[in-house]
Structure 1
Amino acid sequence: MLNFLLRRILAGLATLLVALFLMYLLVDRAIDPLQDLLESTAPNKQQLIDARIDQLNLDTNVVVRFFQWFGNLLTGDFGIAWRSGQAVGDLLAHAIGSTLQLVTAATVLSLVVGVTVGIVSALRQYSGFDYGIIFLSFLLYSLPSFWVAVLLKQWAAIGFNDFLKDPVIAWSVIAGISALAGLFWSLAVGGRAARRWQVFGVAFAATFAMFTYLQLSGWWERPQIGPLLLLILAGGSAVAIAAVFAGVHNRRAMWTGLTTVGVGLALYLPMQVVFDSIDVNNWIIFGFAVLAMAVGFLIGRLYGGPDWGISARTGAAVAFITGGLIYVDQVMQVWPPYFRALSGRPIPTFGDRTPNLGGNYWVGVLDSFTHLLLPTATLVLIAFAAYTRYSRSSMLEVMSQDYIRTARAKGLPERAVVVRHGFRNTLIPLATIVPIDIITLIGGAVITEAVFARPGMGQLFVRSLEQAEIEPVMGYLLITATLAIIANIVADIVYASIDPRIRLDA
């Protein structure tokens, strides 16, 4: 492993140096810092041109200028954006922070949803659900991102803001949504006709009951999770996680998940007091998340048994979800003042924060979330289509292998065959795709950021090119190239950790 890392790091540094040199030559050739002056009609035009040539050192050979820039870079000096006078390091810090928020949310959501739906689609091959997912994934994959973004601005932002003026949903619409939910789950679960009708009825009733609760409780005016929804959502997650990864007959895992939910419910009110009495920040929230997962892991360990590891992992996953729901509930509690501060239109269509908003940590989190909502949805819809196709094709290939037939012949339940033998090997192709996709997004979802006027890496790159500022462009290229090299190394390591046949030091 150490030899592999050393070789790849040295090769990556050499590649980075060559790439930066070539890009510096190309960018210098592509931009013209004197263009605005050459088109000027000022009487002292030549003086202004000479002053800018001296300011930007343009009379020096481009190769010499590259090594001057690179030498400054080794000392930690990224340069200055000459038009604004701002330090490039500060510009990059703000841009990459905004982009990382977007990339993290979009990647996690698209991976979880896309891989899950793709695997279910493969397990229901040639069914109505499979055909529907294939059609949907091809449709979303072919749509231009700017068109999806514009539609979301119109219907998910402007339309929802208008809906909040009088948040009442017609009962016929609720019935239609419930019917679609019932149809989706009946096709996803599959089975005989009687079972499908049973699943349809349960899903229809659950969806209709949920929307009835939202309608009659005034949830749209004051959204919150509260103990009741916490019990339903966390309890349902506990049952689902235990059933999928341990089986419905593994009582220790099932009781671990339910006990973890009970502990979360018991701590719901005390955590409200804790959040109100301390100065909360992201590091404290991270610490609480780690502590919650440790408690869930401990609960699973205390239940014991020969397969206590499955119970412990189930407890940790359920604890993370339960803690996340409590965190979201705390954020929702500041919705009324936030709603009033934005004049009843809380879903923004541009930027990454509301200017001069004020408020505490929770208001800032809610404001960041509302600004992330539309651009994240845009990226998720596009990426979901790709990850669904990848995971479906990979799962179909894996489930046709000899070792899957052997596992079934040994009498293993279908759940164990799919989860323990199929799912892990399905992730192998994704291990090489996902890291590269993440770095591509960090490089800037240029079109999405442009539509939503989000000041991320892509916008910084485009704006710097338009203004003929080479230092910000090179800073952008340095970060994206470095992350691309790291992503390739990480992809190899993840690939080897998933597939034991791969040896990094071979």
Structure 2
Amino acid sequence: MTSYIIRRLIMMIPILIGISIISFAIMYAAPGKPAILNLDPEISAEVREAQIERLGLNDPIPVQYVRWLGNVAQGDFGTSYSRKMPVTEMILDRLPNTLLLMATSLFLAAIIAIPFGVISATRQYSLTDYGVTFGSFIGLATPNFWLGIMLIMVFSVQLGWTPIGGVATIGADFSILDRLKHLILPALVLATADMAGLTRYTRSSMLEVVNQDYIRTARAKGFRERRVIYKHGLRNGLIPVITMFGLMLPTMIGGSAIVESVFGWPGIGKLFIDATFQRDYPVIMAITMFGALLTVIGNLIADILYAVLDPRIEY
């Protein structure tokens, strides 16, 4: 297992480099120099050209890429064009908020979707099964931004139970309850689509498991149905579902961009949206690489968990 993990970590390097080359080429192939948009329009042409030259934007794109890659290898993603701040500092400042939102969303998706998927599988073709299936399709089809706006209108505007947006009440002392009130709606919205898909995956996997011979043997021994399903069946049924958790990590970055914008949550997703509108390429590249890193790490975690859940799997 250790050698397998080391090989996979080494394989990440060319994959990430390939993603960075494609992303860098696409962004810098766009017409115009984005840094010019953030320069003082009243400065002279000579000063403007001097600043562009200082930023290295007159160099060929391959030269700019090699210089950028060398800085990234040292942990420097450059300076934001719009905010004139180190990109690494901006991301680290927003990262805890995004990780909190993602962790809460994963937790909500797991504790809600997996039990519902198991119930739906064990009561196949019942009203409960049809209800869970219908709810899953609704969750998959509902846009995150629309659901977020509707929840804000109901729970924040009409009922006044939750804040409209932000991560905490401005000017108030730190309070866990206050943070939870700000967190619950964006976390629920972010978890909705993954929750629906996870329910369907769990149901499909459990339908295959409950008809296996070892499940019938456990029932024949007189074990309680709950023990048969959750102790003997669920562990094997969760193996395909683990793939979903590995792939949910990068998709939550994309989903959080919309959710954080709707709720004004100061995370990486909102930072990415703002940087896109401002054509702040250093920020965009840094967040793109962060999402790519989450993707390859998520796949690696999924493979490792396969072996943890099923000792028959060897690498």
Measured at CA, do residues 78 and 37 of structure 1 come closer, stay the same or move farther in structure 2, by a change above 3 Å?
A: closer
2:235 aligns with one of 424, 446, 463: 424
1:373 aligns with one of 174, 184, 205: 184
**TM-score (normalizing by structure 2):** 0.92
In the alignment, the residues of structure 2 paired with residue 145 and residue 129 of structure 1 have an alpha-carbon distance, to the nearest angstrom, of 25
Question: Residue 464 of structure 1 contacts residue 473 of structure 1 at CA under 8 Å; is this kept in 2?
Answer: yes
Matches within 5 A, 1:452-463: 452-463=263-274
Give the match for residue 9 of structure 2: 9
Q: CA deviation at 1:443?
A: 4.8
In the alignment, the residues of structure 2 paired with residue 368 and residue 47 of structure 1 have an alpha-carbon distance, to the nearest angstrom, of 50
Measured at CA, do residues 478 and 407 of structure 1 come closer, stay the same or move farther in structure 2, by a change above 3 Å?
A: same
Report the 3-state secondary structure (helix = DSSP H, G, I; strand = E; otherwise coil) of the residue aligned with 2:166: coil
Q: CA deviation at 1:353?
A: 2.4
Report the 3-state secondary structure (helix = DSSP H, G, I; strand = E; otherwise coil) of the residue aligned with 1:30: coil
Question: Residue 349 of structure 1 contacts residue 374 of structure 1 at CA under 8 Å; is this kept in 2?
Answer: no
In the alignment, the residues of structure 1 paired with residue 295 and residue 197 of structure 2 have an alpha-carbon distance, to the nearest angstrom, of 20
Cα offsets for 1:292-340 (capped at 9, x unmatched): xxxxxxxxxxxxxxxxxxxxxxxxxxxxxxxxxxxxxxxxxxxxxxxxx
Q: CA deviation at 1:467?
A: 1.6
Cα offsets for 1:344-400 (capped at 9, x unmatched): xx621122222332x2x4x2x233212112111212333222121111111111111
Measured at CA, do residues 48 and 29 of structure 1 come closer, stay the same or move farther in structure 2, by a change above 3 Å?
A: farther
Percent identity, aligned pairs only, is 35
Give the match for residue 62 of structure 1: 61
Give the match for residue 349 of structure 1: 164
How many residue pairs are counted as aligned between the two chains? 315
Cα offsets for 1:401-448 (capped at 9, x unmatched): 222223223443323321222110111111111121023213552221
Matches within 5 A, 1:124-273: 124-161=123-160
Report the 3-state secondary structure (helix = DSSP H, G, I; strand = E; otherwise coil) of the residue aligned with 2:33: coil
In the alignment, the residues of structure 2 paired with residue 72 and residue 35 of structure 1 have an alpha-carbon distance, to the nearest angstrom, of 18
Matched, 1:30 2:33: no
Q: Could you say which structure has the larger radius of gyration?
A: 1
Report the 3-state secondary structure (helix = DSSP H, G, I; strand = E; otherwise coil) of the residue aligned with 1:412: coil
Matches within 5 A, 1:380-395: 380-395=191-206
Report the 3-state secondary structure (helix = DSSP H, G, I; strand = E; otherwise coil) of the residue aligned with 1:464: helix
Question: Residue 352 of structure 1 contacts residue 371 of structure 1 at CA under 8 Å; is this kept in 2?
Answer: yes
Question: Residue 100 of structure 1 contacts residue 442 of structure 1 at CA under 8 Å; is this kept in 2?
Answer: no
Q: Match of 1:128, as an amino acid?
A: L
Question: Residue 34 of structure 2 contacts residue 280 of structure 2 at CA under 8 Å; is this kept in 1?
Answer: no
Report the 3-state secondary structure (helix = DSSP H, G, I; strand = E; otherwise coil) of the residue aligned with 2:128: helix
In the alignment, the residues of structure 1 paired with residue 53 and residue 163 of structure 2 have an alpha-carbon distance, to the nearest angstrom, of 44
**TM-score (normalizing by structure 1):** 0.59
Structure 1: state its 5+ residue gaps: 162-345
1:451 aligns with one of 241, 256, 262: 262
Report the 3-state secondary structure (helix = DSSP H, G, I; strand = E; otherwise coil) of the residue aligned with 2:159: helix
Give the match for residue 204 of structure 1: none
Measured at CA, do residues 500 and 31 of structure 1 come closer, stay the same or move farther in structure 2, by a change above 3 Å?
A: farther
Question: Alignment RMSD, CA only?
Answer: 2.3
Question: Residue 435 of structure 1 contacts residue 487 of structure 1 at CA under 8 Å; is this kept in 2?
Answer: yes
Q: Match of 1:408, as an amino acid?
A: R
In the alignment, the residues of structure 2 paired with residue 461 and residue 30 of structure 1 have an alpha-carbon distance, to the nearest angstrom, of 18
Question: Residue 34 of structure 2 contacts residue 281 of structure 2 at CA under 8 Å; is this kept in 1?
Answer: no
Give the match for residue 474 of structure 1: 285
Cα offsets for 1:121-180 (capped at 9, x unmatched): 21111222112111111122211111111110010111221xxxxxxxxxxxxxxxxxxx
Q: Match of 1:349, as an amino acid?
A: I
In the alignment, the residues of structure 1 paired with residue 50 and residue 278 of structure 2 have an alpha-carbon distance, to the nearest angstrom, of 17
In the alignment, the residues of structure 2 paired with residue 119 and residue 471 of structure 1 have an alpha-carbon distance, to the nearest angstrom, of 45
